[in-house]
Amino acid sequence: MDGHAPILQCGASVNPPPQIKPLGRHVKKFTTGTTKNSISIVYGTGNPAKLASMRETLAPIGVHVVGLNETGISIPDVYESGDSPLENARIKAYAYYHALNRPVFACDSGLYIDGLADGEQPGVHVRVIGGKRLSDQEMIGHYAEIARRLGGKAVAQYKNGICLMLGGGAVYEHFGDDISGEAFYLVPIPHPRRVEGYPLDSLSVHIGSGEYYYDRDDRSVDFSMECWRAGYQAFFREHLHAA
pLDDT of residue 60: 94
More confident residue, 54 or 9: 54
Residue 2 lies in a domain: no
What is the domain-level CATH number for residue 237? Answer: 3.90.950.10
DSSP for residue 97: H
Helix (H, G, I), strand (E, B) or coil at 23: helix
pLDDT at 219 over 70: no
Number of residues assigned to the chain: 243
How many domains are contained in the chain? 1
More confident residue, 27 or 206: 206
pLDDT band at 221, cuts 50/70/90?
low
Residue 235 lies in a domain: yes
pLDDT at 8 over 50: no
| Chain mean pLDDT for the chain | 82
Chain segment 63-82, per-residue pLDDT in tens:
999 999 999 988 878 888 89
* Other beta carbons within 10 Å of 227: 15
Q: What pTM does this model have? A: 0.75
Q: Work out the angle at residue 83's Cα, subtended by the Cα atoms of residues 81 and 87, and round it to the nearest 5 degrees.
A: 75
Average pLDDT of span 113-135: 94
pLDDT at 50 over 80: yes
Residue 1 lies in a domain: no
**Residue 137: domain span:** 7-242
Chain segment 176-217, per-residue pLDDT in tens:
999 998 899 999 999 999 888 889 999 999 999 999 999 986
- Chain-centre distance for alpha carbon 232: 11
Residues 6+ apart with CB under 8 A from 162: 86, 89, 105, 106, 107, 173, 174, 175, 179, 232, 235
Portion of the chain with pLDDT greater than 90, in percent: 63
For 88-92, 131-135, 172-176, 214-218, which range has the lowest pLDDT when averaged over its residues? 214-218
Residues tagged active-site: 108
Residue 216 lies in a domain: yes
pLDDT of residue 24: 38
Residue 213 lies in a domain: yes
